[in-house]
Amino acid sequence: MSDTLRLVEDLIARPSVTPADHGCQDLIAQRLTALGFVAEHLPFGPEDFRVQNLWAVHDGGRPGPTVVFAGHTDVVPPGPLALWNSDPFVPSHREGKLFGRGAADMKTSVAAMVVAAEEFVRAHPTHTGRVAFLITSDEEGPSVDGTVKVVQALRERGERLDCCIVGEPTCVEKLGDMIKNGRRGSLSGKLTVTGVQGHVAYPQLARNPVHEAAPALAQLAATEWDAGNEYFPPTTWQISNIHAGTGATNVIPGELVVDFNFRFSTASTPESLKARVAQVLDRHQLQWRIDWTLGGEPFLTPVGSLVTALSEAIQAETGVRTELSTTGGTSDGRFIAKLCEQVVEFGPVNATIHKVNEHVAVDSVEPLKNIYRRTLETLLA
């Protein structure tokens, strides 16, 4: 068993459901400090929901860029244990696959990054620039006391980050087939439309907000918000929840509440989307209000030193010509991009993430570690 695979198994065996870390970051810090990394633990949040964060740096002593490996040690809950073929927190091997919660998202990436850094530093102790790790236990949860807080702390102390690889599982069918070089932004809204409650037999004495809002919602659903661009698909708008009424069948509701979400490209801004929604609602003469939540702005890393180094490492290790993509949900890359010019995501196949019997192909573990190491060699050796 390789050193990388042993570390993956050790991490899976720790039931680090958000925000618990169960010693994952201590283990990582111990390994890195043994090689000369300076490790700093940065916990944030209330005592009953304490988030563990790790910032660790190895300075090679020669001028050069800071290359960051970013990831998370927390995992989503396993769900009904009876549906798993083996204990989700006991690493298990079947048919060439390693099963366990976090196997794909993202303890394999974290382990591969750690071992890649160990191998690189041993081979190049006086490398140019710095190798750094930014690890959190709050990526799968609210994401308010994790990477975003660490980035704020680093900015306040004047840190400069040049390149960052986030270990999110990005591949579709085989290791190396996709790099995420950006992500769409997320803008959510809770729309409240006010009417007048009344008896269904006397609609002339009431005003039904469902009836009034329906044409506006249809228009919003049919709107083309933008055409996207070279890197991003068009912005989308989706209703995620809708509620009205008291539960009684003979009462016209007095209020309608609609939860919706934009996944938006760099072709739009939060301000422009908010303004266009308001125009539609006003055009339909609704009595309305919206509570907005900006989950993250879009970020994009064009082809440059990081994308090139990672793509060439993938080609050399696997023979796969990778594809650049900005599809999918949000990640902590949206926070890091505010401090780092080049941010990409790359990790194993994502087909089983957050699912029962989550797994990763065993024969992809060492190549993933080698891709990370090759990338460091190109950027810092």
Provide the annotated binding site for Zn(2+).
Answer: 72, 105, 140, 168, 354
- List the structure tokens of 275: 């303004």
In this structure, is the dihedral angle defined by the CA atoms of residues 19, 155, 330 and 292, taken in order, positive or negative? positive
Give me the helices (H) in the chain, please.
3-12, 24-33, 108-123, 147-156, 209-222, 270-283, 305-318, 333-336, 365-380
Pairing of strands 38-41, 323-325: unpaired
Which stretch of DSSP H or E encloses residue 264? Answer: strand 255-264
Give me the helices (H) in 297-364, please.
305-318, 333-336
Nearest to 69 by CA among 23, 6, 118, 27: 118
- DSSP, collapsed to helix, strand or coil, labels residue 342 as strand
Annotated active-site positions, please?
Answer: 74, 139
Find all residues with CB under 8 Å of 356, minimum gap 6, and list them.
78, 79, 80, 83, 84
- List the structure tokens of 132: 């750094």
The CB-side HSE value for 263 (13 A sphere, CA atoms) comes to: 16
Instruction: Specify whether the CB–CB gap between 64 and 161 falls below 8 A.
Output: no
For residues 41 and 56, give the distance between their C-alpha atoms in angstroms, rounded to a whole number: 8
Cis peptide before 88 (omega within 30 of 0): no
